[in-house]
Amino acid sequence: MTSLPAPPKLMMDANALIDFLKADRAALELVVKYIGQVYVISLVVREVNVIDNENELVDLGLIIIDEKTEDYYAATERIGQLSFVDRLCLFTAKRGDLT
């Protein structure tokens, strides 16, 4: 018997998170319920100005993770079109095997 693949672990950046929160917060709950776990780094939580505190995100089912020092260093070493926070999301996602 073939086992089902594990549900994806998803990384949410600030732009996507803000769009979901402005459009329909219930959509985030549906993503968590039917698609997979949704992670957001604490730096992104601090950037999001459409919530009062991080408990709002936790109540929607999001998992808030702290950035690692090595991801900060990696994000500062790379220069390109992405913002520092987006690079930090990418390195955190890579380290945590997040999509």
Per-domain boundaries in the chain: 9-96
Q: How confident is the model at residue 1 (pLDDT cuts 50, 70, 90)?
A: low
Q: How confident is the model at residue 20 (pLDDT cuts 50, 70, 90)?
A: very high
- Residue 9 is inside which H or E element, if any? strand 9-11
pLDDT for 5 equals: 81
- Going from the C-alpha of 40 to that of each of 5, 29, 49, the distances in angstroms are 22, 14, 14
Which residue in the block uniquely carries the two structure tokens 């985030």? 28
- Each residue of 38-95: pLDDT tens digit? 999 999 999 888 898 899 999 999 999 999 999 999 888 877 888 999 999 999 999 9
pLDDT for 2 equals: 74
pLDDT for 80 equals: 81
Whether the predicted model's global pTM rises above the 0.85 cut = yes
